[in-house]
Each structure stands twice: as C-alpha cells, then as structure tokens.
Structure 1
Amino acid sequence: MHDPNQNHLLAALLDTEFHRLSPHLQSVPLRLGDVLCESGATLEYVYFPTTAIISLHYLLENGGSSEIAGVGNEGMLGVSLFMGGGTTPSRAVIQTGGHGYRLPVRILMEEFNRSGPVMRLLLRYTQALLTQMAQTAVCNRHHTVEQQLCRWLLLTLDRLGAGELTMTQELISNMLGVRREGVTEAAGRLQGRGYISYRRGHITVIDRAGLEVDVCECYDVVKKEFGRLLSDVRHRQPGDLPKRAA
C-alpha cells in the first residue's frame, strides 16, 4: 500500500497544511533509470519519494558524471524552485525504483509563500541537503573508493530500510564518479570481510555494523545533520491520516 506519510516531509506537515496539499498529490511509480529532470530544465512538479531513491548528478562536458546528493523518503526533489533558481543545475535520475508522490510546482509555491510551517520545514530540509552535497564533495576528494562505497551503501540502506539492493557496479561507478574497476576492487574487499554479498547486480548487506566501522566520518555528519534539523518534527505514521474538521 502506498501512503504519502511514508515520506518524512509530507508526514511532518501539520494537518491544516496537509489538507491543503493532499488533493493535489499524485501517486506515481518511479522506475529505475527514469530521468525526472535534465540539467537546466524547469520542473513542472516536485517529487516526494516514498520507496524510491532519486540521484542528483552533475554532468561534465566530456560526458562524465558524479552524484552530488541522493533524495529518498527523507526529502524531496525541487528545492531550487523555492530558493529562487527556477531551474536545477543537476540531472535527476531514479537510482532505486519504487514509488512516490508528485505535486504541481504552483501548489507548492503557493504554500511556501504563506511563510508558515511549510516554508520553515522546507528550509530546514534544504540546509540538511546542502550539508549532504558539501560532505559528498569532501568525501570524493579525500576518502578512498572503499570508504565512499560504505557511505553510499549506508545512506541507501537508511532510505530503503532493507538489506538488499538492485544495483550494478557500472551504476555505482557513475554515482561515485570513479572507474568501474575501482568499484569492483572495493566491493570485493567488502565481500571478503563478510560485509556484503554481490551477485548479478544484487547487493545484500550481511554485516551493517562492519560497514559502519569502515565508513569515513562523512556518513555520520550527514546523518546527524538530518537528525538535528528534523528531530523535533512530529510525524504522522503511514495510514494515520488527519481527520478533517466537521
């Protein structure tokens, strides 16, 4: 069953704001590899993933790319709109297929411009997202491919809540912006330690604690910032829709 409250931002809305937005929320499948937005394009909808993960990529002139951030059930795609940019400099592609909800940009901007709880919630989320982007840049520059892979796996697990991922090494290399051979070697070392099992595009995490030991500090920085900024937000649980006033 799909429920908008599976997305943490939608679940954090006060009942009044949720009732204004919910009639406009559209349930949509988000399929692996689908491109939601190209770099420089104008979004017609913002997206709130529930069981899918959206990857934000920066594309180089030579065709290379690297992930600058991921968006799962903790957030949304489209922060550039209410930050005044109008367009996004990154390419948004579905990293992990699943489900989500989309909302017309006009509806979100009307709510944001009320300068109420929705605006404050989205700005706090944006700060956490910027922290993730900055930490990703630091990690890609200073840490090993193995540490980057641990970080990426743990963030993906946090968003999915499951221990099995459908992901090819080629796709992971595109996410991290490194050669496929480097991912193969790093994954082989993690598998040799018994942390993961990799077979035909499927990664099964066997020992999460092992990944947490070997990951760099970047994972904790991102996780703690999201927790710090959104820790006091009340969340409705899936299936727990607010009652309308009589």
Structure 2
Amino acid sequence: WGLAGGLAEVMLLACHRPIFLALTLLDQGNILHSPGDEIDYVYFPLDCLLSITITMQNGDTAETGLIGNREVIGINALMQYRSTTLTTYVAQTPGQAVKIEASLIREEFNGSCDVRDIFLRYIQAFIAQVSQTTACNRLHNLEQRFARWLLEARDRTQSERLQLTQEVIADMLGVRRAGVSQAAQKFQELAAIRYQRGRIQILSDKLLIQHACECFECVKDEYDRLLGVRGSPFPNSPT
C-alpha cells in the first residue's frame, strides 16, 4: 500500500492492537471535510497531496497547511468526542490514502502512550509548518514561495511529477494566476521544472532550493527532528 516512510506506518506500528483500515482513492478536487462537518474518519495520505484551506466571505481562498504522507487529515478528532473543523480539506492531486475510523484512532490515542507520543510530536511539527507558512506568506516574494511550495509538494508525494494547474497553485498561495505563470515560466527557462497542460515535472531540486526561501528547509528539519528522517527509525525523544 505504500505505507513505508509515512506517518501511517509509524502510527500503525505503535498501536497495541490490530486496527481496521481501508484504502481509498482520491480524485483531484475531492473534499474530505468541510467547515462544520463532524470528523468521522481520519485520513493518512500515501501518494496524494491535500490542502487545508480557508475561504473568505468574498470567495477568496488561501492555503493554511499542506498535507502529504508525513501528515494526517482529521487530527481534530483526537480533541473531543464530536469534533468538527473550521477549514476545508481538499485533494490537490489524485492518489491513495488510508482511511481509519476516528473513534478507533481516539481509543489508541487515549490508551497508548506510544501512539499519543507520535500524534503529539506530529501536532508540534504541523504547528511549525503552519507558523512558518504564515511568516513566509508575509515576508517572502512569490518566486521564493512558489519554489518552496513545489519542494514541499514533491517531498510529501515522493514524486517529481505533479498534476497541478497554475490556477490551483495560485489559489493555494493566495495570489493571482498571472504571477504564478510568470514564476513558472522563469523556472522552466532555468530548467528547474517542465510545465505543460496542468502537469509540473520537477527537473532540479537543487535549482528550486537555490531560489526558494529558507522556509522549506526549516520545516523539513523540524519534521525530521520530531518524526525522524525518512527511512530511519522513529526517534525516541526529540531534543
């Protein structure tokens, strides 16, 4: 199922009993949770990319968090019995996710110190992502943010090929599509990416890192510190 290296694998290995899980296929644009929805299921993406978004009264949308195979959708379910969300969780690229009943995850969280430790570390890492993204959106230019976003998307899908339109990326960055088009054109001329018909292929991580702000590395380092480097054992205690 492609669990290796993701948060789903770490969590399932820590559970003290077998957990029933289902593999679900997500299409681009699928909405998993909307504002006011009760969270009945928790989703662990395997090879797809999802966004946590907020839509304003005038219809403008902005991304507040990026979700891939190092994250989980529906973490609010651990906080109370009938938890709801104030945000929208939408699939940005098609792919697979593991789906587990929220009640089962809640029982493991309440009954297992190991599972609770994993989720608390994850929450700390995700808060770091959201905080860094907030600062990034305020302080860094569009080209830096675009490069950072592509690097984060590749890191979370483990793929250099992303099925994403410029319009979607513009919505996620909270900017005009024309700005994303200009940034994409520049990176294509630099041979950092190849863009065609709603598909982006990353050709050079090195070039994107050179043009991105420090936020990608900052967030990645915090995830690695708290949750471990991909392919390595889960850390016993973060420092």
The reply to whether TM is greater than 0.5 is yes
- Alpha-carbon distance in structure 2 between the residues aligned to 1:108 and 1:37: 17
Superimposed CA distance per residue, residues 200-241 of structure 1 (whole angstroms, 9 cap, x where no aligned partner)? 111111121000111101111110010000128736xxxxxx
Residue 16 to residue 182, structure 1, CA distance change in 2 (3 Å) = closer
Compute the TM-score of the two structures, normalised by the length of structure 1.
Answer: 0.88
Superimposed CA distance per residue, residues 147-203 of structure 1 (whole angstroms, 9 cap, x where no aligned partner)? 111011001111222211111110110111101011111111111212111111111
Structure 1 runs (4+) deviating above 4 angstroms are: none
Instruction: For 2:6, give the aligned amino acid.
Output: H
State yes or no: 1:163 paired with 2:155: no
Q: Which residue of 2 aligns with 1:25?
A: 21
Percent of pairs with identical residues:
36
CA contact (8 A) 2:44 2:71 kept: yes
Instruction: For 2:126, give the aligned amino acid.
Output: L
Q: Which residue of 1 aligns with 2:66?
A: 70
Residue 34 to residue 16, structure 1, CA distance change in 2 (3 Å) = closer
CA contact (8 A) 2:15 2:112 kept: no
From 136, 141, 156, the equivalent of 2:138 is 141
Q: Which residue of 1 aligns with 2:233?
A: 234
Q: Unaligned stretches of 5+ in structure 2?
A: 235-239
Instruction: For 1:174, give the aligned amino acid.
Output: D
Compute the TM-score of the two structures, normalised by the length of structure 2.
Answer: 0.91
From 148, 151, 164, the equivalent of 2:148 is 151
CA contact (8 A) 2:41 2:99 kept: yes
Deviation at 1:13, TM superposition (A): 3.5
- Alpha-carbon distance in structure 2 between the residues aligned to 1:198 and 1:9: 30
CA contact (8 A) 2:8 2:98 kept: no
Instruction: For 2:140, give the aligned amino acid.
Output: H
Instruction: For 1:78, give the aligned amino acid.
Output: G
Residue 97 to residue 77, structure 1, CA distance change in 2 (3 Å) = same
- Alpha-carbon distance in structure 1 between the residues aligned to 2:56 and 2:112: 37
- Alpha-carbon distance in structure 1 between the residues aligned to 2:44 and 2:27: 14
State yes or no: 1:12 paired with 2:15: no
From 81, 88, 92, the equivalent of 1:91 is 88
Q: Unaligned stretches of 5+ in structure 1?
A: 236-246
From 166, 171, 179, the equivalent of 1:174 is 171
Deviation at 1:10, TM superposition (A): 2.4
CA contact (8 A) 2:50 2:68 kept: yes
From 191, 194, 198, the equivalent of 2:191 is 194
Superimposed CA distance per residue, residues 104-129 of structure 1 (whole angstroms, 9 cap, x where no aligned partner)? 11111111111411011001001111
Residue 43 to residue 13, structure 1, CA distance change in 2 (3 Å) = closer
Residue 217 to residue 17, structure 1, CA distance change in 2 (3 Å) = same
Q: Which residue of 1 aligns with 2:237?
A: none
CA contact (8 A) 2:16 2:112 kept: no
Q: Count residues with an aligned counterpart.
A: 231
CA contact (8 A) 2:47 2:158 kept: no
